[in-house]
Copies of this chain bind each other. A is one copy, B any other.
C-alpha cells in the first residue's frame, strides 16, 4: 500500500548551485531506492533534481504547485497537485511530509523550514539555513553531511 510508505519532502531553491542540484538528485535517488515517496513544490531547481533522482529509481514523486496549471510541473513530477494559492502552498508541501530535507535555498525554503518546525515535523539540513533566536542558537534544523545521512535521518524520524 502506498499510504504505508514514508512521505519525505525535499525543499530548496529554484536556482541551486551545481553542488546543491547534485545533492538533491542523490537525495531523490536514495529516497526512492528505499521505498519513500517524494513530496516537493513541483517546480525547477532542487525540486526538479530531486524528482529526477527519484524517478530514475522508479519512485513516486508528488509536486504541490503554487499556480493554476499542471503544466508548470517539472517533467519528473508524477502527481501534480494544483493549489492556486501561491506561496501558501509551501505549508502544504511540508505538512504533507513526515520529515523534510532542506538543501540550500533562499527565503521560500526558510519559510518552509519555519512552517515545518511550527508543525513539529523534523527538518534535516544540507548546506542550508541556520538559526538563532535572541542571540541563542536554535538547533532545530538537524545538520547532516551528505545525502545518505540525510535520507537515513529523515526515514528514522518520519514516524507520525
A interface residues, Cβ below 8 angstroms from B: 1-3, 7, 37, 60, 62, 64, 68, 70, 73, 77-88, 91-92, 95-96, 104, 106-108, 110-111, 113-115, 117-119, 127-135
Q: Which residues of B contact A119 (CB under 8 A)?
A: 68, 84
A131 touches B134 (CB 8 A): no
A118 touches B108 (CB 8 A): yes
A81 touches B62 (CB 8 A): yes
A81 touches B81 (CB 8 A): yes
Ordered by A's residue number, 26 sampled pairs between the chains whose C-beta atoms are within 8 Å are A1-B78, A2-B60, A3-B77, A3-B80, A37-B79, A62-B79, A68-B119, A81-B81, A81-B96, A84-B91, A84-B92, A85-B88, A85-B91, A86-B91, A92-B92, A104-B134, A107-B117, A110-B113, A110-B117, A113-B114, A114-B114, A128-B133, A129-B131, A129-B133, A130-B131, A130-B133
Q: How many copies does the complex hold?
A: 4
Residue in contact with A111 in the complex, picked from B3, B64, B115, B128, CB distance below 8 Å: B115
> Considering the chains assembled together, what is the distance between the CA atoms of A115 and B81 in angstroms?
15
